[in-house]
Amino acid sequence: MATAASSGGVSDHQYVSVKLESPRLAALDLAPHLFGSHPAAGSWDPTKALPMERAAAAIWELSCVLPSRHETLDFKLLLKPKADSSECIVEEGPNRPLGCGSNQVEMTDAVFKLTEKDSLECKVWVETEMLSPFDLAASWKAHQENLQPSRVRGTYDVVMNTETEARDENDFASGLELDLEKYVVPTTPNMGSGVVYAANLTENPRSLLDTGISPNNLIKGDAPLNHYANTKKDVDGRHTPSQEEQKAVFVDRGVGSPRFARPTNETVSTSNIKQDSEAKLGMPAAEGAVAAAAVADQMYGPKEDRKLVIVLVGLPARGKTFTAAKLTRYLRWLGHETKHFNVGKYRRLKHGTNQTADFFRGDNKEGVEARNEVAALAMEDMLSWMEEGGQVGICDATNSTRSRRNMLMKMAEGKCKIIFVETICNDQDVLERNIRLKVQQSPDYAEQTDFEAGVRDFKERLAYYEKVYEPVDEGSYIKMIDMVSGNGGQLQINNISGYLPGRIVFFLVNCHLTPRPILLTRHGESLDNVRGRIGGDSSLSEVGEVYSRKLASFVEKRLKSERTASIWTSTLQRTILTAQPIIGFPKIQWRALDEINAGVCDGMTYDEVKKNKPEEYESRRKDKLRYRYPRGESYLDVIQRLEPVIIELERQRAPVVVIAHQAVLRSLYAYFADKPLEEVPKIEIPLHTIIEIKMGVTGVEEKRYKLMDAVNPTAEV
């Protein structure tokens, strides 16, 4: 067995996050604020208190980095009416002290006296962590060479490969007042929302759909079935694919990357003949490491190794569904046909949403049989889906006993390989937060009007699971121990081998639950945009320069309380110039963020390509995802080189602003929005628009800001 431990480094900077939770506050016309000698506020004047940003349905947060060796500070929370900020309600009790040089999470209560007879109680978490230089910049050397007093609240800036000269008072960016909400534009309808319980977005239980219950109804708490259905009848009576569906399944088949297979009746250019030959042989059409590993597994590995089932194991509220959802999105983005099967969804469809904690007792024979039955149904659905071309199935349930896990292994024998992923959390503060979020979101408590009663019921259910829980010590497994918060932890692996399992381990070690925004934007309009030319390395047009200044004002206002944020650009000058007016944040250049390589077509217009290279133009038009420019790249190539960027975005705890190019941002956005690969080249990423992706324990949310219209909205690729 191999063990890997991850932990943060030590430096003189201290990360501070203050979170407030109150389901009731969400319904009141009050907004939480923070004030005091805390550097983020800097004043005991309530009119200068900083607003806390909404991180979830009932959670608000404010975070910052304290300067080195700061003195003991204190602060308080207050509520301001949204309509009239002149009046405020300060929390009862003494000031909250904030020491230095410690890593801890402290949970307390805050009481606000609304009226003589009515008080509001809120949960408050204060998290502090010492930051390593690697969290502030790319290396300690860069940190030392570029350390300089910040122009924002006495913290420090680390500047990489860019200059940050002070602005004049009359400069455009510093003088521009932006009302952020003024620029909000509608988002795409299919983007995930943080208010949707992740399990509701999983695979629909097709083995139960012949009962006449709509999968949408299980969220509304429909009545359960009268008795347990016969398992064989459910399996034999499941949906049979139509000819069109079978055809679609055939097109999507493949070993390493099922979605990369191409319909055999499609005409292609000579540059793609090799990919077509591989598709006909059942080999992946992806390039690089994914294809090489998949071909090797097909040639040398046993048949069941081509199919993989990830079985989640762990007590409730340990982040299993969160982990399963992230893994599903990541593997789909890499091109592996992946589906997330949530056993709780099967249970709610078959037995209703009103089960009390008694249903989950280990000595409740009928309850145990019912839960094992729905687990078997989910596994049967997964195996049937794999027979139709699926590659990676994720079984999301507690699976907390050896007998349950043995049942799943027997069902999978000779059909697929099983890897157990066990999530273990010993942090009581994290568990308390997860329990409350679970009760807020889960359909199991949708009809529970008393929130605290729901919390008590869930804790009782949890106690029943703890009595019979048996940790994983069999087969191939990955244990994630105290890793959910990103504050260190331990990853243990046993009997793990192969390319895909290795990628899964690498991904999991970099995941955490800390909410933070990621801002995606194309560079300002370039001279080649104006000319309609592909690729190149031109500078900005006058319109693009205006956008760069507006973007700087936007970033400084949007991230004013996020002093650990960083700016990422490509190595091409149009992104570097767009980032240049932004001050107060480190800037890092990534070659992986460079625009798609147009090869011999670089610098041409699309009319010139159509006229001079008609075969290439036609091939690209028919299959933009797989088409590779001669001596250049395809979208699939871009996705492969962006994997390290995705891993680092997952690892980051602070906000990141990514200034890049259309094809690159399409690929990154497809990951967060869980878009099918076929849709990647069609995703709209307009110029002069900021896409804000909010990542956190509740899911992924999106907001768009259009700062200005593009005069020449010509696409780059």
Question: Which residues are known catalytic residues?
Answer: 396, 425, 523, 595
Strands 476-481 and 417-424: parallel
- Residues comprising the chain, all counted: 717
Q: Angle formed by the axes of helices 451-468 and 428-441, to 10°?
A: 120
Alpha-carbon dihedral sign for residues 566, 570, 572, 575: negative
DSSP three-state, residue 705: strand
Contact at 8 Å (CB) between 39 and 156? no
Long-range contacts of 49-53 (CB under 8 A, 24+ apart): 49/78, 49/80, 49/88, 50/561, 51/80, 52/18, 52/20, 53/561
Bridge partners (DSSP) of residue 43 are 36
Structure tokens at 495: 């009997």
Give the closest residue to 231 by CA, choosing from 205, 212, 213, 207: 207
- Report phi then psi at 494, rounded to 5: -145, 125
13: Cα separation from own chain's centroid? 27
Contacts of 599 (CB under 8 A, 6+ apart): 628, 629, 630, 631, 632, 633
d(Cα 463, Cα 467) in Å, to the nearest integer? 6
d(Cα 78, Cα 87) in Å, to the nearest integer? 10
Contact at 8 Å (CB) between 128 and 104? yes
571-594 as b/e: b if 16+ CB within 10 A: ebbbbbbbbbbbbbbbbbbbebbb
Helix (H) or strand (E) holding 657: strand 656-660
DSSP three-state, residue 501: helix
